[in-house]
Amino acid sequence: MVDKRMQLTPPTLPEDPADALAAVGALRRLADQVEDAAVERALHDGWSWTDVAEALGVTRQAVHKKHARRLRGTGVGLRRGAR
């Protein structure tokens, strides 16, 4: 079942490709920031790497590789296993 709150309306692209591509870059940076904060919060709340990976639709190894080094200094417990 698809969560209707997560469905987005396709955007209208700017006429200038440079503007459209700049918007894509800005959205990617924003998405990375949102992902970083969400992963940190999930781990802080006791989620496992497996739980986080499943929620993101990636492997546990991929999410761990992307986030573990950054999170080591934050005090977030980097445990393994299920919630």
Length of the chain in terms of residues written? 83
User: What CATH number has the domain bearing residue 74?
Assistant: 1.10.10
Q: Is residue 55 part of a domain?
A: yes
Fill in the amino acid letter for 3.
D
Q: Is residue 79 part of a domain?
A: yes
State the pLDDT at residue 80: 56
Going from the first residue of the chain to its last (83 residues), give the mean pLDDT of each consecutive group of 10, the final group possibly shorter.
67 91 96 97 95 97 94 72 48
| Burial of residue 18, with CB atoms counted within 10 A of its CB: 0-12 exposed, 13-18 middle, 19 or more buried | exposed
State the pLDDT at residue 58: 97
State the pLDDT at residue 82: 45
- Structural domain of residue 38, as residue ranges? 32-83
Both tokens of 44, joined, read 């802080």
- Return d(Cα 7, Cα 56) in angstroms, integer: 16
Looking at the structure of the chain, the number of domains it has is 1
Cα angle 44, 82, 42 (rounded to 5 degrees) comes to 25
